[in-house]
Structure 1
Amino acid sequence: MSQPLLFPTTVVGSMPRPLFVKELFDEFHEGKVSDAERQRLLDESVPLAIALQETAGVDIVSDGEWRRFSYVGVISDVASGFTRGLSGEKRDGKYWHTVTGEVTPGNADVLAEHARFAIAHSSRPVKVALPSPYLLSVRMWDETVSKNVYPTREDFARAIVPILRAQVTALADAGVHTVQLDDPHLCLFVDPEVRKTFADADREAMHCASLINDVFQGMNGIVRAVHLCRRNKGRQGWVGEGSYDRIMDPLRALDVDQLMMEFTIPAAGDMRCLRDLPAHFRIGLGCVDCRGEVIDSPETIVERVEKAMEHVAKERLVLAPDCGFAPGNAADIPLDEAYAKLRNMARAAHVLRERHG
């Protein structure tokens, strides 16, 4: 039996969306392009995102999330009960989904269908990311319009769990390698300023972890991953600051296989915290900056990974950027920049295999 690949490389999820993809969504929302035409054009476009990753040398790829308006709003593609509109001053005039009715399953197979398309157009294993229940509850529950259906944010979060479980099952059946729950808000509990806004921040973080466990409970045949980040503001940087030590208890409580963690930004703190994670976790080590203009050299990436190896076994490490390159529909990172960063990550993995294999 062949040995598992050392230092496999992956992406967190999204790739930068070219202008034509952004404008395609704008024209669809304005009623200028039909859904059938949008899907046809996306079928022509998504293989480019996959080919870019494969050419860069990435081992586990995504479809770039080019079919999604945003990584949060994708829930409205698989469930009903949401109202979409311009939120005005509250959300800086951006489109936003809010839960205004009972959440019921929609097209349970839509994301699995997208995954099958990606698998058919890739020679590599495919991963798919979903928003976590807690993330959705923070972003989509509004006390003024949601409480008549879901009296509390927690009520809405628990209502969304079976919707997400059905998606995970469908993705596993489709042959997806990794299903990842994105939960930046769990990571924000590292920040003292964020923690001050909760009566019991530790309880809230543990609630967040329990929702993730509820989604993944009993799921087999996939790598179950959780992505932790401090909010990705693109060129503007990040939001939460502080060491992962503050959320070590909820992290240890997670029943998952892999944690995707950021470490290239100074706000992430020291890698020593990796020692405190259970040995069964594989670490998706954020070793490539995805926000700034600087393209990390392979040598810089190697140094970061070798620093992590001081605290965790090399067999547990997966190389990745800190976050997706374009989690929001307004992100504006150049596609060639993302390619160069992924290419250097793959080159770094080759050096590490030669040196430590």
Structure 2
Amino acid sequence: MSTRSIPPFRADHVGSLLRPRFLLDARDQHARGAIDAAALRKVEDRAITEAVKFQEDIGLKSITDGEFRRTYFHLDFLRHLGGVATDDPKLVVGEDGKEHLLPPGIRVVDKVRHVRDIQRADFEYLSSQVSAGHTPKVSIPSPTMLHFRGGRAGINAQAYPELEPDFYEDVAKAYGQELHSLYEAGCRYVQMDDTNLAYLCDQHMREAARTRGDDPNELPHRYAKFINRVVAYKPKDMVLSMHLCRGNFKSTYAAEGNYEPVAEALLSEMHLDAYFMEYDDDRSGDFRPLRFLPANKIVVLGLVTTKFSPLESKDDLKRRIDEASKYAPLEQLALSPQCGFSSTVHGNKISVDDERAKLRLVVEVARDVWGDA
């Protein structure tokens, strides 16, 4: 079985890593005004340098900065787009006695535009630390987040009396400018993190979309056209992938359901290069939706959970890869954890040793299945 010299690699990962204690302490000091932004960035630099070595030592080829400069995977990007306003999420204790993250407010208050390079400086530092033979990867939130959370009501009617085509085109152009900024800095691998398509697999979330005035059967196809507008702006030799996320806060989740309601729009209609799909437990259903995967795309199977400590069995992972290969050729599959280990600064309820073991397991199983060195 052949190896892959371009991303996504047979053994890959979503990107976020558990923050080290010294970084969390520095963030607290900065919040209290004890250190300035420049001092915090130096601490972040140190943490990222260590995270790069951590990933390379495990054997990963795609290397991220662990999202160490972010508090939330999405807000720390979206709030830098012109015309976008965000509110921080709130932590609440639910009826189950567990902490839950109430979704943040994300509103379009004016024409959406790219007013500054958002990730370029962060990528440049990451790239400077990555060894030859490895590929630095940047993750950014999906543009669908600017629509799904609030629907029509969350988008200023004066700025956008009609959403089609101006809203979708403005957002796509802004994303395209960010992708070109990253490309000029040397970036060739970008991942868009998307909760919304996965949420549209959940019956409760589908009903919530209806109450906002959207048709959950139509939305996946509309979002496919939306994503394709972004793809039309990207540099031709940049790999653009999408991670499907069902929620990842302190080892909890927000949605469940088989991919079937979105599979055709996701896999067949979107002009993306690859998809990271969560498949770590029964919440994601079976592999039949992979039958829509065209011959020129890759699905990275998120079979290893980042939410809980117990290590998966190699034999079980290989069996599940074999099951998936009944619907998509093995050549078009790869392996990763189902999500990041710390989509928010809080992190999942798992240790750094567990994180290391999970990532090493991904590398070892991929080597056994596909022969990657």
TM-score, normalised on structure 1?
Answer: 0.86
1:285 alignment partner in structure 2: 301
8 Å contact from structure 2 (residues 107, 146) kept in 1: no
Give the whole-Å Cα distance in 2 for the aligned partners of 1:51 and 1:41: 16
| Closer, same or farther: CA 142–269 of 1 in aligned 2, 3 Å | same
Measure the CA separation in 1 of the matches of 2:192 and 2:203: 24
Residue 35 (structure 2) aligns with: 33
How far 1:306 sits from its partner (Å)? 2.5
Partner of residue 341, structure 2? 325
- Give 2:184's aligned residue: 173
Partner of 2:204: 193
Deviation of 1:140 after TM superposition, in Å, equals 7.5
Native 8 Å contact 1:275 1:311 kept in 2: yes
TM-fit CA distance, 1:163:
2.0
Amino acid at match of 2:204: E
Deviations 1:291-336 (A, max 9, x none): 1222223333323222222322222112111111111223244222
Deviations, residues 194-233 of structure 1 (Å, cap 9, x unaligned): 2223241122222222221111114211111011121223
Q: Is the 8 A contact 1:141 1:153 kept in 2?
A: no
The 5 A counterparts of 1:263-282 are 263-282=279-298
1:349 equivalent in structure 2? 366
Q: How does 1:13-162 map to 2 (within 5 A)?
A: 13-76=15-78, 78-83=80-85, 98-108=107-117, 110-123=118-131, 124-139=134-149, 143=153, 158-162=169-173
**Contact 2:200 2:206 (C-alpha < 8 Å) held by counterparts:** yes
Q: 1:240–1:55: structure 2 CA closer, same or farther, 3 Å change rule?
A: same
TM-score (norm. length: structure 2): 0.83
Q: State the 1:48 CA deviation.
A: 1.4
Q: How far is the alpha carbon of 1:78 from its aligned partner?
A: 3.9
Sort the Cα spacing of 1:328 and 1:139 in 2 relative to 1 into closer, same or farther, 3 A: farther
- How far apart are residue 11 of structure 1 and its match? 1.1
Distance 1:60 1:106 in 2: 29
Q: Is the 8 A contact 2:249 2:342 kept in 1?
A: no
The amino acid of 1:327's aligned partner reads S
Determine the C-alpha separation between the residues in 2 that align with 1:192 and 1:140. Answer: 18
More helix by share: 1
1-side partners of 2:354 and 2:3: how far apart?
33
**Alpha-carbon displacement from aligned partner over 1:118-139 (angstroms, at most 9, x marks no partner):** 1221121121111111113345
Change (3 A) 1:99 1:196: closer
- Letter of the 2:76 partner, please give it: V
Aligned to 2:356: 339
Shift of 1:64: 0.7
1:87-109 deviation line (CA, Å, top 9, x unaligned): 6689968986655455443331x
Change (3 A) 1:76 1:243: closer
- Given candidates 252, 257, 260, the residue that maps to 2:273 is 257
C-alpha contact (below 8 Å) 2:108/2:146 kept by paired residues: no
Q: CA deviation at 1:25?
A: 3.0
Partner residue of 1:226 out of 234, 237, 242: 242
* Code of the aligned partner of 1:118: L
Counterparts of residues 293-304 of structure 1 (less than 5 Å): 293-304=309-320
Structure 1 residues 28 and 82: alpha-carbon distance in aligned structure 2, compared to 1, 3 A threshold: farther
Moved more, 2-11 or 242-251: 2-11
1:255 is paired with a residue of what secondary structure? coil
Q: Distance in 2 between matches of 1:145 and 1:212?
A: 18
What CA RMSD, in Å, does the superposition of the two structures yield over aligned residues? Answer: 3.1
The answer to whether the 8 A contact 1:72-1:136 is kept is: no
In structure 2, how many angstroms separate the alpha carbons of the residues matched to 1:55 and 1:201?
44
CA distance in 2, matches of 1:88, 1:339: 30
Q: Is the 8 A contact 1:56 1:339 kept in 2?
A: yes
Q: For the structure 1 residues 17 and 94, does the alpha-carbon distance in structure 2 shift closer, same or farther, using more than 3 Å as the test?
A: farther
Amino acid at match of 2:4: P
Equivalenced residues, count: 353
Quick check: 14-23 or 85-94, which moved more? 85-94
Conserved? CA contact 2:107–2:154, under 8 Å: no
Answer whether contact 1:77 1:106 (CA < 8 A) is retained. Answer: no
Q: Distance in 2 between matches of 1:316 and 1:208?
A: 24
Does the Cα contact within 8 Å between 1:50 and 1:62 map onto a contact in 2? yes
Structure 2: runs of 5+ lacking an equivalent = 93-99
Q: In structure 1, what is the Cα distance between the partners aligned to 2:368 and 2:16?
A: 26
Q: Which moved more, 1:143-152 or 1:300-309?
A: 143-152
Match of 1:240 in 2: 255
CA distance in 2, matches of 1:62, 1:143: 35
Match of 2:226 among 203, 206, 211: 211
Please give the secondary structure, in 2, of the residue aligned with 1:340: helix
